[in-house]
Chains A and B, each alone.
Chain A
Amino acid sequence: SQQGEEDPQALSIQEGENATMNCSYKTSINNLQWYRQNSGRGLVHLILIRSNEREKHSGRLRVTLDTSKKSSSLLITASRAADTASYFCATGGSNYQLIWGAGTKLIIKP
């Protein structure tokens, strides 16, 4: 069943601009994770934020989590052409399963 819903479904920006993607979910969570997928390939983990955290940084990535609104955002600063990919959020609950959204397709125009 779908838990995370990413918004927007697709995003196209100029290189150097910032890209923001949002994820909403429905049930309580232990953590929220963001993954990246290059076309037709496997997913790569980017960042995990726990339910008691509000913000986390990793390089050019900034993730926020608002558990009261059941939402998260992923900000990629100073985008590069190589950031072109699909980005997925996944929520982790009390069991071992991750529940996924349908993803945001990000295109960085050179």
Chain B
Amino acid sequence: ETGVTQTPRHLVMGMTNKKSLKCEQHLGHNAMYWYKQSAKKPLELMFVYSLEERVENNSVPSRFSPECPNSSHLFLHLHTLQPEDSALYLCASSFLVQDTEAFFGQGTRLTVV
């Protein structure tokens, strides 16, 4: 256990569905991240939250909508996704200082049909 928990572990959704991914960290970190991992590609940073404020949005389509209600919880709301959005979605947390490591959840394997 890394102290970062993601649910669900697997999700299959249709292109017209709305679903949400959840991430929770118990490490007292002040920054949380959403990453997308596709096969044979580097991890893509989607969103960064620091102290519950979004500080980074790397040109992610609006069909992905993050929410950070407090420093321990992070959500990724999904709607009208495309098949190419199928990937492993990873949540991570860290302290917002230099030379620190990130702690990852186990990921949500998303399949869009």
Contacts and interface: CB of A to CB of B under 8 A. Distances in A.
Interface stretch (B11-19, B39-47, B61-69): B39-47
B56 A102 contact: no
Interface in A14-62: 30-31, 33, 35, 40-45, 48, 50
A102 B41 CA distance: 5
Given A41-B106, A42-B90, A97 B48 contact: yes
Contacts of A88: 43
Give the interface size bracket for B toward A. Answer: 20 to 34
B2 interface: yes
B112 interface: no
Nearest to A97: B45
Contacts of A31: 98-99
Interface in A84-110: 88, 90, 92, 94, 96-103
A98 B102 contact: yes
B50 A40 contact: no
A2 interface: yes
A27 to B, nearest CB: 15
Nearest to B95: A96
A42 B104 contact: yes
B45 A92 contact: no
Contact of A48 (B48, B56, B101, B105): B101
3 tightest A-B CB contacts, nearest first: A42-B104, A45-B101, A100-B43
